[in-house]
């Protein structure tokens, strides 16, 4: 069986869906369903169990021989969360305990890192897992720092020759969009937020640029369709010889204006975009450019090309956002 932490969340529930489609009844989800919204991300799945996070290790200890892999997507993922103690408890200490458990019981581990580890991008977006390279990165918020701290801890444990899972992979997710993100409210992808306004007959609203080298709407990100992220996870599960820290993006940066235009096109409408001032609290923490270097993953053997922004947004709008049940 596969244990997916954060399995009711955005990326985790898409992974759960893909594994359930491959082999029904093979997935255990570890998550909190809370207010009765996230359950819809799992409503179409045949699950072995749904385990509260506080019971995870007791659950794992009862059946270590049955666990094929732990897919650790659970985290406090808000980039505006300010309680760093809570973030470290959830994103660093829990991850380290899972690493140690998987190493002890010889269970494979795939975990979510983040492009937020790269900070403002001054050091580039190279997924080099050496301690010396990781030490140069400067994340801009507690979330990015917590993910970076765990990446660095993994690098140190490996350098010291400490016990490790038989296969491990950290995935630095870039700007992911797609179904099952609806519970994230203000942390949903810009694609989902733009769609909501445009479908209601309003203009799209994006942040103004506060840098002279970027025009309004010209801030760029590496936007990746969640299905491409899932395909990478499935490939890793099928390719047990590959371990490492890998970017999870397309390798092609596109502007927010491009993304908004793709939403308008998917709805058959002409673009109409308004630009609002960026909140002061975000300006020093804002990434104007992200673009994954994908050479390491390709060199490891992964060859499937990512979906283009236009095709991905088209699928998201047509197959999910515009239908009665938008969940995967």
Q: Name the residues annotated as catalytic.
A: 143, 184
Bridge partners of 171, per DSSP, are 112, 246
The Cα-based distances of 15 to 10, 150, 228 in angstroms read 9, 22, 11
Instruction: Provide the pairing of β-strand 254-255 with 223-225.
Output: unpaired
Reported residue count of the chain is: 328
Residue keyed to tokens 């801030």: 219
SS3 241: coil
- 296-307 core/surface letters (b: 16 or more CB in 10 A; e: else): bbeebebeeebb
SS3 131: helix
Question: Token pair for residue 285?
Answer: 């923490």
How far from each other are the two terminal CA atoms of the chain, in whole angstroms?
21
The values of phi and psi at residue 154, to 5°, are: -60, -45
SS3 54: helix
DSSP string, 247-292: EES-S--EEHHHHHHHHHHHTT----EEEEPPPHHHHTT--SB---
Helix (H) or strand (E) holding 271: none
Question: Token pair for residue 15?
Answer: 């992974």
Pick the closest to residue 170 from 101, 304, 71 (CA basis): 71
């Amino acid at each position: 069986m596969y244990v997916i932490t954060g399995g009711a969340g955005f990326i985790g529930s898409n992974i759960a869906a893909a594994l359930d489609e491959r082999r029904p009844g093979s997935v255990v989800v570890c998550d909190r369903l809370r207010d009765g919204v996230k359950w819809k991300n799992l409503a179409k799945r045949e699950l072995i169990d749904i385990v509260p996070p506080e019971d995870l290790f007791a659950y794992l200890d009862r059946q270590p021989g049955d666990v094929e892999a732990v897919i650790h997507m659970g985290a406090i993922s808000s980039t505006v969360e300010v309680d760093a103690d809570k973030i470290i408890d959830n994103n660093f200490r829990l991850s380290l305990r899972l690493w140690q458990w998987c190493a002890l019981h010889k269970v494979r581990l795939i975990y979510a890192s983040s492009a937020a580890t790269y900070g403002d991008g001054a050091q580039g977006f190279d997924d080099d897992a050496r301690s010396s390279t990781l030490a140069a990165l400067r994340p801009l918020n507690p979330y990015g720092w917590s993910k970076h701290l765990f990446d660095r801890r993994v690098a140190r444990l490996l350098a010291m020759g400490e016990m490790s899972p038989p296969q491990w992979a950290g995935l630095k997710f870039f700007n992911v969009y797609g179904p099952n993100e609806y519970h994230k409210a203000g942390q949903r992808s810009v694609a989902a937020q733009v769609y909501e306004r445009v479908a209601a007959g309003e203009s799209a609203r994006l942040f103004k640029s506060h840098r002279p080298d970027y025009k309004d709407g010209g801030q760029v990100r590496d936007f990746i369709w969640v299905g491409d992220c899932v395909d990478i996870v499935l490939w890793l599960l099928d390719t047990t010889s590959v371990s490492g820290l890998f970017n999870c993006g397309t390798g092609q940066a596109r502007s927010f204006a491009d993304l908004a235009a793709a939403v308008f096109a998917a709805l058959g409408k002409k673009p109409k975009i308004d630009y609002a001032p960026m909140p002061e609290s975000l300006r020093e923490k804002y990434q104007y450019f992200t673009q994954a270097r994908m050479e390491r993953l390709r060199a490891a053997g992964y060859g499937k090309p990512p979906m283009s922004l236009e095709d991905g947004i088209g699928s998201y709008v047509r197959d999910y956002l515009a239908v009665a049940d938008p969940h995967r």
